[in-house]
Structure 1
């Protein structure tokens, strides 16, 4: 049961990170390094979700 709760938390964080990446890409004041950093964080979340799901 605790694992399912953790997975749901990770999925919510991943969705929030997706929105942050999209927002950063639309903002002219955001530099490419910041967008790349957000994408890496999003990928780490995705990898953790995949690892725990299997």
Structure 2
């Protein structure tokens, strides 16, 4: 299914199940994540994964 292919690339900084959470609950989860001050890292991890797959 396309849904699997769209998300097969790898990690996310935050995942929310919008089929189980209300918009307000999603907003709260995002706000809590931002308040933690943790730097996003998904793009860096994806870049490392791509670089590791490239031939030397």
Answer yes or no: same fold by TM over 0.5: no
What TM-score results when the alignment is normalised by the length of structure 1? 0.39
Instruction: Specify the structure having the higher radius of gyration (Cα).
Output: 2
